[in-house]
Amino acid sequence: MLAGRLRILLIAAVALIGAGTLAACGNKEKIVTSADTEGPYVDVGPLQYQVQISRQLNPTDEEDRGYFTGVQGADKLGPEETWFAVFVKVLNRDDTDHLSAKDFEIEDTVGRRYSPVAVGGDNAFAYRAGTVTSGGTLPATDSTANQSSIGGSMLLFRLTLDSLANRPLVLRIKSPGKPPEAEIDLDV
């Protein structure tokens, strides 16, 4: 009878230790480096990135014209090319300031890679790498890009129409921090 009680106490002690260990694991924040759609945040270095929306742009369309401020050759696309914008938001939940990523690319399913085109400094919507303050966002809360209906900073790409057919397109975000890279499948 004493052996039975000791066995029950031993089993209860092991169960309590196991429950404590599992509960401690639940306190860790999960690091997310891949998203199969736009919307979720991914971790790159100490910052989190979210694609607000991605879409084709037309420089002759009244609604899109402002996105092309400071873009050289905006009206000089080839017949098999299109403008494609990815609007991103960066969030710093850390207690220190951090630099945002400078390196982005889009890759299609056949391995074609595209880098963002240069956008002039007078474009209020363009993504500009910089310091994201503790608890802050990029674009800044009071900026034109954040106050717009999209609420993100624009990365502008010149893609081929073939690449739009070879989807999903994947946005890669790279940073020298840990984790060094994340990817997001883009809705096209």
Whether 29 has a pLDDT exceeding 70, the answer reads no
Would you say the pTM of this structure is higher than 0.85? no
- How far, CA to CA in Å, does 74 sit from each of 84, 156, 158, 170? 12, 11, 10, 23
Task: State pLDDT tens for residues 130-161.
Answer: 999 999 999 999 999 999 889 999 999 999 99
Examine the pLDDT at 60 and tell me if it is beyond 60. yes
CA distances from 11 to 17, 20, 68, 113, 138 (A): 10, 14, 68, 57, 52
| Residue 149: predicted pLDDT | 86
- The residues, any chain, with a CB within 8 Å of residue 121's CB and separated by 6 or more, are 70
- Residue for token digits 């717009």? 148
How many CB atoms are closer than 10 A to CB 160?
15
